[in-house]
A and B are shown apart, each in its own frame.
Chain A
Amino acid sequence: MLNNYLLRSGGSLLLFLASVSAVQAASNGKSDLDSVVPAGPMDSASGAPVAWSKPINDQKLHKFVQIDRLEYGDPEGPNNYLWDAQGWVGGDFNKLWLKTEGEGPISGGSPESTEFQALYNRMISPFWGAQVGLRYDVNPNPDRGFAVIGLQGLAPYWFESDTALFVSEDGDVSFRGEFEYELLLTQRLILQPRLEINASARDTPEYGLGRGLNNTEMGVRLRYEIRREFAPYIGVRWEQKYGDTKDIARAEGESTSSTAFVVGVRAWY
């Protein structure tokens, strides 16, 4: 009877058709040694017939979508909005990573900046992913594309980090680093300082950027996690331009420094 069963399981497909499968033990209650290795092709991880389903599902693809910042700002100038979202789909080591961010005036008109990135993320160490891919800016005009190489992950002392080098289609090289930290006032009330640094390798006055450090944006946001997935926040954002970038802004009558109170929401699924 046991041998009969084994023959059938070795034949694999037959078993799926059988409406009743019965197994009976030999008198000592143990399997026959010959039954351990199946006659046909076997799965390398289980050693069982290759046609059988897997015992666990550790190859499943997962996905994640997060709006890190969606906020309304009230600076000295016109009120504005800002979005900063990202998401990924993939396995443990290889992911497709998408990002978008931008901002513009509430009063209407086209956004000051609108940016999209599509990146391949490769896990290179426990806390870090290396990213390569493309960035495309719709605003400011004219549109332009970039090649991206970046590093995203969690630095020691809990700094959430996202750094990237961009090379535009015109050959302009720029850098951006974003760093966030979380200070738990309670389990749900969280103070999050944030720092963003932008720098360029050469002047690109048509985009208002000078060589060297362009600008920094510092923020502090206080959010309350009603659920983990949904947290409204209030905060302050302070932007400062530097060097040639500052001069360009001044020449064009734009502000070189601005502080804004913000209110927004952080959400993910």
Chain B
Amino acid sequence: MNRHSHDSDRRRLLRAMGATGLLAGFNALLPAYARSSIGGSHLNAAAAQVPGGKPRDVVMDFHVRRETIDIAGGRASAITLNHLTPGPILELWEGKNAHLRVHNHLDESTSIHWHGILLPFQMDGVPGVAFPGIDPGDTFEVDFPVRQAGTYWYHSHSGLQEQVGQTGPTVIHSAEDDGINADREYVIVLNDWTFEDPHRLLAKLKEMSDYYNFSERTVGDLMEDVSKSGVQAALRDRLAWGNMRMSPRDIADVTGYTYSYLMNGMHPESNWTGLFTPGERIRLRVINASSMTYFNVRLPGLAMTVVAADGKEIQPVETDEFQIGVAETFDVVVQPKADQAYTIMAETMDRSGYARGTLAPRAGMMAPVPALREQPQRTMVDMGMDMSKMDMGGMKMGGGSMGHGSMKQMDMSGSSQGPAGMSHKDHDMGGSKMSGKMAHGTGAMAGSMGTGAMMEQSGPIIARHGPDHHGPGNLTVANVERYRLGERGTGLEDVNHRVLTYSQLRNVVPMQDRRDPSRTIEVHLTGNMDRYMWSFDGVKYSNATPIEFPYGERIRLILVNDTMMEHPIHLHGMFMELENKQDDYLPFKHTISVMPGSRVSLLITADEPGRWAFHCHLLYHMEMGMFRVVRVSDQSGDKNA
């Protein structure tokens, strides 16, 4: 308890100091060794820099241990990999071989899943699906040819081990010149750390699902809404949410109340720092290795060029901020020209905390840490409400409230393809399509009630939900299912700079498998937040059977999010091509964050035989049953299972 209050006090202090720029001055007083020692066993600047070198076969040992380490400003029992958390960089070369040995020094079974890596399923590292797990004292060896390049990661797939440190970065160098020409590369591994036993954490969620939510709407918020938008609108909003028994402030299940957010294993106070020489092109390989936390990543004062998503190259997109779902990776290139420090800010989506580091020409330099922004709210679009049927009487959509700063979901298609190096200032609304896109100032309407404006801003309705409401294990359904790949992530709708959207991801290579899908599989993401139940189609893993992908077929996988929160859905073993209207250049994803109330379509070529895990990558959602096995097998003859 002291631990938590101390932590949250410190966070508040840091936030305040960061906002005024005091932090830079404060930490600069500390000697270098003190700054770097606060975090304990972590990826310091040297360890987080990708060494590179000549292409080679790699033999690497991973020693999994439970040990007491310094972490997040405290001392705790963690699971380390070669005495580190996050573990060491697994660096591989496309076209060469990997020989990896996992040694289990724990007194329980363990595993390592090589996230995003194409390999025989028996090596995929999912106990109970791909292999039996690694018993205490055992060594598990895998040996495979490396068939891809990019930024990936690895983590335990056993129980809740991932939460207590068993994660690490993977970097695979391309066999050919990828044209990115980075002078320097760093991994940026984001984690959420808790000093609580994760089993107790999960039990608390099961007993009281809003346990960690300390940003629910209060009487004060109601008064504020009333003064902004009148009694009638404010009450209507409250009643709409009350009728559903849902909270618009349900952004994250687990928050900064218990979590410390780490960058390369280091607390914001310890300030992980990567060095650069002004003018260099720096490739940041950003990996969200956290258990439950979405981050908004930005480097104030530096434009980022996104060059890869989930390890796979995309056509470069310049942006100022991106949201990264759990288990996703994004590679960005930055080119700081000035002799100054830049903060790498990774604010959590619910704004209950942040991870932070620095890019600096010299050790000890720092830049101001931006204050946390206002917490977002769920909307009726997230709820999948059909607002055309709602009473809009009394809703006034004054054109006077339109403005640059409050534009939600601007159409950036013109400018995002523009020349790199364009500054923010040039990025005016000139080329953007404004017709029908109304302002969504947070004060312009009561709380989060659906209005005409919101309908205009969100993606179009592309389907309606069927009659099956998926049983007691599911609370709500998306009555209308929207295409939301063009929308910014939750809480970034109104920020006054460029934000990456899924619709901007465009592959560098055209689609290889142009067959029409031979079958369509629709999976609904379902849950009951009140009872902390999570499932697909209202059925949890234990009561389900594998999803069958006949070997060799082209599959269209439809995901419909009936819940009111994002779920990062991960398919092992095969990449999914995201149908984001990029013609023949659909981007590859191994993890797709499905926005609430949305319908997402993915194409998969089932050419990797195996039993592959398919699950929500929010750790506690997975553990509660939001998990399936996808079976790619021969179904042509008598082997049909």
Contact = CB atoms under 8 A, between A and B. Distances in A.
Interface of A: 2, 5-6, 9, 12, 15-16, 18-37, 43-49, 51-59, 62, 64, 92-93, 123-127, 154, 156-158, 183-188, 227-228, 268
B474 interface: yes
Nearest to A123: B472
Given A53-B128, A125-B472, A157-B243, A36 B120 contact: no
Interface stretch (B308-316, B322-330, B543-551): B543-551
Contacts of A154: 245, 530
Nearest to A191: B219
Interface of B: 1, 109, 118-123, 126-135, 137-145, 147, 157, 159, 203-204, 206-208, 211, 214-220, 239, 242-245, 472-475, 528, 530-531, 533, 540-546, 551, 607-611, 613, 622-625, 627, 629, 631-634, 639, 641
Contacts of B142: 22-23
Nearest to A25: B144
A48 B611 contact: yes
Nearest to B142: A23
Q: Which 3 A-B pairs have the closest CB atoms?
A: A58-B625, A55-B128, A22-B141
Contacts of B540: 58, 92
B546 to A, nearest CB: 5
A37 B639 CA distance: 8
Given A9-B131, A23-B142, A33 B609 contact: yes
Contacts of A158: 242, 245
B371 to A, nearest CB: 20
Contact of A35 (B122, B138, B140, B244): B122
Nearest to B246: A158
Contacts of A18: 138
A120 B214 CA distance: 33
B623 A57 contact: yes
B384 to A, nearest CB: 15
Given A48-B128, A157-B243, A9 B122 contact: yes
8 contacts: A20-B138, A24-B143, A33-B634, A35-B610, A52-B128, A53-B133, A58-B541, A228-B208
Nearest to A21: B140
Contacts of B610: 31, 35-36
Nearest to A189: B218
A56 B625 contact: yes
A43 to B, nearest CB: 8
A32 B609 contact: yes
Contact of A126 (B122, B131, B208, B474): B474
B144 A29 contact: yes
A267 B432 CA distance: 55
Kindly name the residue among A28, A58, A62, A127 whose own CB sees the greatest number of chain B CB atoms within 10 A.
A58
A31 B122 contact: yes
Given A19-B138, A58-B625, A123-B531, A46 B611 contact: yes
B127 A55 contact: yes
B572 to A, nearest CB: 11
Given A45-B545, A56-B627, A64-B207, A126 B530 contact: yes
A37 B159 CA distance: 24
A187 B609 contact: no
A30 B120 contact: yes
Contacts of B544: 45
A23 B141 contact: yes
Contacts of B120: 2, 23, 25-26, 29-31
Given A55-B128, A92-B473, A268 B122 contact: no
Contact of B546 (A26, A45, A59, A228): A45
A25 B531 contact: no
A268 B245 contact: no
Given A45-B629, A55-B613, A184-B218, A127 B245 contact: yes
A157 B239 contact: yes
Kindly name the residue among B472, B530, B544, B634 whose own CB sees the greatest number of chain A CB atoms within 10 A.
B472
A159 to B, nearest CB: 9
B242 A157 contact: yes
A35 B609 contact: yes
A59 B109 CA distance: 19
B138 A48 contact: no
A46 B473 contact: no
Contacts of A23: 120, 122-123, 131, 140-143
Given A45-B541, A48-B611, A185-B219, A5 B127 contact: no
B8 to A, nearest CB: 11
Given A55-B129, A56-B623, A62 B122 contact: no
A35 B543 CA distance: 24
A87 to B, nearest CB: 10
B143 A184 contact: no
Contacts of B126: 55
B631 A47 contact: yes
Contacts of A19: 137-139
A57 B119 contact: no
A36 B611 contact: yes
A16 B625 CA distance: 26
Contacts of A57: 159, 623
A54 B128 contact: yes
Given A16-B135, A154-B245, A227-B1, A30 B608 contact: yes
A53 B109 contact: yes
A126 B143 CA distance: 47
A269 B109 CA distance: 29
A92 B138 contact: no
A49 B130 CA distance: 10
A22 B607 CA distance: 24
Contacts of B622: 56
Given A35-B609, A123-B472, A55 B141 contact: no
A37 B143 CA distance: 22
Contacts of B131: 9, 21, 23, 52
A44 B545 contact: yes
A36 B216 CA distance: 47
Contacts of A58: 540-542, 623-625, 627
A119 B531 CA distance: 19
A266 B245 CA distance: 23
Given A25-B143, A57-B623, A47 B641 contact: yes
A127 B609 contact: no
B623 to A, nearest CB: 5
Contacts of B109: 53
A6 B541 contact: no
A33 B607 CA distance: 10
Contacts of A54: 128, 542
Nearest to B141: A22
Nearest to A228: B211
A125 B132 CA distance: 36
B219 A183 contact: yes
A29 B542 contact: no
Contacts of A37: 633, 639, 641
Kindly name the residue among A34, A124, A126, A268 whose own CB sees the greatest number of chain B CB atoms within 10 A.
A126
Contacts of A46: 128-129, 546, 611, 629
Given A9-B132, A62-B207, A55 B119 contact: no
Nearest to A227: B1
B505 to A, nearest CB: 26
Nearest to A42: B641
Contact of B472 (A5, A28, A124, A183): A124
